[in-house]
Amino acid sequence: MPKWGYSIITEELDPEKTAKASGREIRVSQKSSREVCAAIKGMKLTLAKQFLREVIKKEKPVPFRRHKKKVAHRHGLEKTYAGRYPIKAAAKILQVVEGAEANAENKGLDIERLRIFHAAAYPGIKIKRFTPRAHGRASPKNETTTHIEIVLTETPGQGEGF
């Protein structure tokens, strides 16, 4: 079984105050996953889960900042105009976020004070297939999988120092 690393340096994080989870080789769009992760990075855990559920219900759009050619304008976006409702990517990222929450609960962290410290999505392996064409030829049909990483940190409360 391979040992997966993270794109963030985990040695700098305090292991007693952080929890992490990852989804490897998930069959969702890498571009949509990247935009969803950029949108939830820095949010509190409860707000991020609520945002992802609203995206799945098509109530709140995800702002697209990099991959935005020919993307329609959406009502309710701030600081950008282009947006979409990536339902499949949001559902898979919600599963990884809930896994990180379960890991934090198992460590004994306070769920109300958790914040998404790191959220990243990047391309995984390519699934290579061929589709038959006319006259005995074949065209490649490649599908890129996605790796998703979530790291949660516990923010200090009212009585603690920052």
Q: Where do the structural domains in the chain lie, given as residue ranges?
A: 18-154
The pLDDT confidence band at residue 1, using thresholds 50, 70 and 90, is: low
pLDDT of 77 > 80? The answer is: yes
In the CATH hierarchy, which top-level class contains the domain 18-154?
Answer: alpha beta
Q: For residue 98, which of 40, 156, 16 has the smallest C-alpha distance? A: 40
The pLDDT confidence band at residue 162, using thresholds 50, 70 and 90, is: very low
Q: For residue 84, which of 143, 22, 29 has the smallest C-alpha distance? A: 29
The pLDDT confidence band at residue 58, using thresholds 50, 70 and 90, is: very high
Kindly tell me the burial class for residue 101, based on how many C-beta atoms sit within 10 Å of its own C-beta (0-12, 13-18, 19 or more). buried
112-145 pLDDT per residue, tens: 999 999 999 999 999 999 999 999 999 999 999 9
The pLDDT confidence band at residue 158, using thresholds 50, 70 and 90, is: low
E strands within 32-135? Answer: 62-63, 83-84, 114-132
17-36 pLDDT per residue, tens: 999 999 999 999 999 999 99
